[in-house]
């Protein structure tokens, strides 16, 4: 990433340690975050009134959906050492376009695929600037963050479109057959599993990891790193657009400010999940656990009437701790090892 810091433990450290040790640290962080998530879920179900029942699980899933969906492609992008800050603006622009086409009288079944295509185009614009012009993705997507959100306002102004068909809005918020299984659960699981397999069990996934670990080396090894990155930006655009559609349907409300600021929450979840901001390191299960952890913590604290402020501080603290803790552990371990070594001498 552009913003790497010339610190000994950051960039320089990444190159030095043996791969085995790095894998060890990674696995332990992933295990930590998953364990932490399970712990929070168990404790919250036992001690927080109303957390464990089916109704709350549906709410929780609905709250998780946007961040989880966007976090999937974001994980892949960050793994290649890039970043996409425009995701929430793509979400907003898609929602705005969806709203204005609906008002224009188009059928919703036509609008939704069109919106996904729009997402692909917006993602391709990001990809073009990053891969063809070779510009840093941080700067590019800060630019498109403003551009796409601005276009959302141009499209919809301050109007809100609210009268989407109940068959669709009801499906998004509803459960299968009125039971306890939300309609969204299965598609979400499929998406998570598909991304997980793509990243961890296909040549494409290995290409992503290799690109992030060393762009130059990956290219020498014959990988089309630019093409990989371009495809990922398009994918991110499509998923963000899909999330924009779901967002508008879930809240029955298409507004230009839909999802504003969500990009930071997504990046926070991805980093908390153990993905290195420098690329080449991370795992999808860790990210999914981090998304669930943040959302359930938030849900539980709200039920306990803990203020919003505390949530904000906890989110920020966890984010820093996710990188700080392994570094500190490593330093302590190293120090004690060297102390042992010197004592043995």
Partner 1 sequence: MSAATAQRTQETPVPPAPPTSAVERVLKARSLGIVLALVVLVAVTAAANPLFVSGQSLRDIALSTAILAILAVGQTIVIITRSIDLSVGSVLGLSAYAAGSLLQAAPGTPIVVAIGLAMLVGAACGLVNAVLVRFGGVPALVVTLGTLYIYRGIAFFWAGGQQINADEMPGNYLGFGTATVLGVPVLVLIAAVVLVVAGIVLGRYRAGRDLYAIGSNPDAAVLAGISVGRRLLAAFVVSGALAGLAGALYAARFGTVDAAAGTGYELNVVAAAVVGGVVVTGGSGTVWGAALGALLLTVINSALPVLRIDQFWQQAIVGALILLAISTDRVLTTRLAAQLRRRNSHGR
Partner 2 sequence: MSSRRGLSLVLAGSLGLTMALTACGGGTTRESQAQQPAAPAPSSSAAASADPSAEIPEGLKIAFLPKQLNNPYSDIEAAGGKEAVEELGGEYSLVGPNDASASSQVSYINTLIQQQQDVINIAANDPNAVCPSLNQARAKGIPVVTFDSDANPDCRDVFINQATTEGIGKTLAEQALELSGGSGKVAVLSATANATNQNAWIEVMKEELAKPEYAGVELVEVAYGDDDDQKSFQQTQALLQKYPDLKAIVSPTTVGIAAAARYISSSDYKGKVAVTGLGTPNQMREYVKDGTVKEFALWSPADIGYLAGYAGAALKAGQITGAEGETFEAGRLGEYTIGADGEVVLGPPTTFDASNIDQFDF
Q: Is 305 in the site for partner 2 (CB under 8 A)?
A: yes
Q: Is 179 in the site for partner 2 (CB under 8 A)?
A: no
Smaller CB separation from partner 2, 25 or 242: 242
The CA distance from 95 to 309, in Å, is 29
What is the closest distance, in whole angstroms, from the C-beta atom of residue 228 to partner 2 in the complex?
A: 6
Q: Is 9 in the site for partner 1 (CB under 8 A)?
A: yes
Q: Is 165 in the site for partner 2 (CB under 8 A)?
A: yes
Q: Is 206 in the site for partner 2 (CB under 8 A)?
A: yes
What is the closest distance, in whole angstroms, from the C-beta atom of residue 295 to partner 1 in the complex?
A: 15
What is the closest distance, in whole angstroms, from the C-beta atom of residue 283 to partner 1 in the complex?
A: 17
> Which residue(s) pair with 182 in the sheet?
175
Q: Is 107 in the site for partner 2 (CB under 8 A)?
A: yes
Q: Is 178 in the site for partner 2 (CB under 8 A)?
A: no
* Chosen residue from 198, 314, 323, 329 binding partner 2 by CB under 8 A: 198
3-state helix, strand, coil in the chain (%, to 5): 75, 0, 25
The CA distance from 104 to 328, in Å, is 57
Residue 237 burial class via C-beta count within 10 angstroms: exposed 0-12, middle 13-18, buried 19 and up: buried
Distances in Å between the alpha carbon of 110 and those of 113, 119, 120, 166, 283? 6, 15, 16, 17, 36
Q: Considering CB distances under 5 to 8 angstroms, the limit depending on partner class, which of partner 1, partner 2, none binds residue 332?
A: none
Nearest to 162 by CA among 288, 258, 86: 258
Site size toward partner 1 (CB under 8 A) is: 66
The CA distance from 36 to 287, in Å, is 13
Interacting residues with partner 1 between 189 and 228 (CB under 8 A): 215-216
């Amino acid at each position: 990433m552009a913003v790497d810091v010339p610190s000994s433990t950051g960039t320089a450290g990444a190159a030095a340690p043996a791969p085995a040790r790095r894998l060890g640290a990674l696995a332990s962080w992933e295990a930590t975050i998953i364990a932490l998530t399970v712990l929070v879920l168990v404790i919250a179900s036992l001690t927080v009134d109303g957390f464990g029942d089916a109704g709350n699980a549906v709410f929780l899933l609905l709250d998780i959906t946007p961040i989880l969906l966007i976090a999937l492609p974001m994980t892949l992008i960050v793994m290649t050492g890039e970043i996409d800050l425009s995701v929430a603006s793509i979400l907003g622009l898609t929602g705005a376009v969806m709203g204005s086409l609906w008002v224009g009288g188009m059928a919703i079944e036509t609008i939704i695929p069109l919106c996904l295509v729009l997402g692909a185009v917006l993602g391709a614009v990001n990809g073009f600037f990053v891969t063809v012009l070779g510009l840093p993705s941080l700067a590019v997507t800060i630019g498109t963050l403003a551009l796409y959100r601005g276009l959302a306002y141009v499209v919809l102004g301050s109007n809100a479109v609210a009268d989407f068909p109940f068959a669709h809005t009801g499906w998004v918020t509803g459960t299968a057959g009125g039971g306890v299984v939300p309609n969204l659960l299965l598609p979400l699981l499929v998406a998570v599993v598909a991304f997980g397999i793509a990243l961890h069990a296909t040549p494409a996934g290995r290409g992503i990891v290799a690109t992030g670990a060393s762009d130059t080396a990956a290219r020498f090894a014959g990988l089309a790193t630019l093409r990989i990155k371009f495809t990922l930006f398009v994918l991110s655009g499509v998923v963000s657009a899909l999330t924009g559609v779901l967002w508008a349907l879930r809240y029955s409300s298409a507004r230009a400010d839909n999802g504003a600021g969500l990009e930071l929450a997504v990046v926070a979840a991805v980093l908390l999940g153990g993905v290195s901001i420098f690329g080449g390191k991370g795992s999808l299960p860790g990210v999914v656990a981090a998304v669930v952890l943040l959302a359930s913590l938030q849900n539980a604290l709200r039920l306990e009437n803990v203020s919003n402020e505390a949530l904000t501080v906890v989110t920020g603290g966890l984010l820093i701790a996710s990188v700080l803790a392994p570094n500190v552990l490593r330093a302590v371990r190293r120090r004690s090892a060297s102390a042992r070594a010197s004592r043995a001498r």
